[in-house]
Copies of this chain bind each other. A is one copy, B any other.
Amino acid sequence: MSEITGSDIERARAELPPYIRRTPLLRSEELSAALGHPIWLKCENLQITGSYKARAAFTLLHRLGEDARRHGVALTSSGNFATAFAYMGRRLGVPTVLVMMRKTSPFKAEQVARLGGEIVWCEDRFEARFETLRRLEAERGLIAINHLEDPTVVIGHGTIGLEILEQLPEVPTVLVPISTGGLIAGIALAVKERHPQASVIGVQPEGSKATYLSFKAGAIVSIPETRTICDALTATRPGTLMFSLIQRYVDDIVLVADEAVAEAVAWLAREEKLVVEPSGAVGIAALRSGQVTPHGPTVALLSGGNIAPAHLAEILTSKT
């Protein structure tokens, strides 16, 4: 396993092009007043491609050798990484093939197709995604990226941590959604190497808690299936590299109910004027439902905004 350091993340940050947004960090007036500490929203839902995945997609594709660029790359994704890859592949001239499960949000699949990414469907099973990836590698000579174990993914995601520290001079607690664990691994590493006294807390849906169970058990636990409205948080196990970083740097992991997540999505639209997908609203759900009690400046990472309009409409109608 490769050892990643904070300076790897600093280098990746310096490489990011101007079109990768330094997303706004907005103070929530209402939550800060209600909870008695400043609550900040890191708006990666406003990142290009609608999620933070644009960062790691750039870092990965930008660093490919000539050969890999010509052959093209394959990746498996629940939607947001696929969108980011399709976008960045087109921008950087690298063919992209995206392996997606049949149950993928049609809204996300359509975005990928619109951006010119080639979709290869696989059955609705987490491991089937990786089997299909290996097949594509063997049959078509594509460079398969295993986002569950790739250190460059962690490094790309970690650039968000550095940005938060620049934007907020106080040492924060940061709340981060967890699926495979790559996002929180990168952010925790970036934040904790600079400020060991900061806190990084992961949030998972009750119906998709593989990393939570692994964290509590002290070893990787797989779960048979997931059941949640958070369609970007469906990993049935954390990555090995990701999990080792989580064990080292993450302070705690909490769970939220889908009900609280839907309420957070509605609240973010109504009060903060932000469209956030359920997976991106778990941190706000944890704060609003009392799963996390802030003790100082707290940042909730809004990781994405790719929600189908009809789904958002349904949530707005039922939760407000």
Q: Bin the interface of chain A by size.
A: 20 to 34
Assess whether A294 is interfacial by the CB under 8 Å rule.
no
Cβ-closest chain B residue relative to A317: B313
Per-position binary interface string of chain A over residues 256-276, scored 1 when its CB falls under 8 Å from any chain B CB and 0 otherwise:
000000000010011011111
Cβ-closest chain B residue relative to A29: B48
Assess whether A301 is interfacial by the CB under 8 Å rule.
no
* CB–CB B309/A320 < 8 A: yes
A21 and B313 alpha carbons, distance in the complex (Å): 28
Most buried by B among A26, A45, A309: A309
* CB–CB B309/A270 < 8 A: yes
Assess whether A186 is interfacial by the CB under 8 Å rule.
no
Of residues 227 through 251 on chain A, the ones whose CB sits less than 8 Å from some CB of chain B are: none
By a CB distance below 8 angstroms, the chain B residues around A310 are: 316-317, 320
Assess whether A161 is interfacial by the CB under 8 Å rule.
no
A20 and B276 alpha carbons, distance in the complex (Å): 23
Assess whether A283 is interfacial by the CB under 8 Å rule.
no
* CB–CB A312/B316 < 8 A: yes
Assess whether A305 is interfacial by the CB under 8 Å rule.
yes
Chain A residues with a Cβ under 8 A of chain B: 19, 21, 24, 26-27, 29, 45-46, 48, 50, 266, 269-270, 272-276, 305, 309-310, 312-314, 316-317, 320
A-B contacts, 6 of them at CB < 8 A, read A21-B26, A50-B273, A270-B309, A273-B276, A274-B275, A310-B320
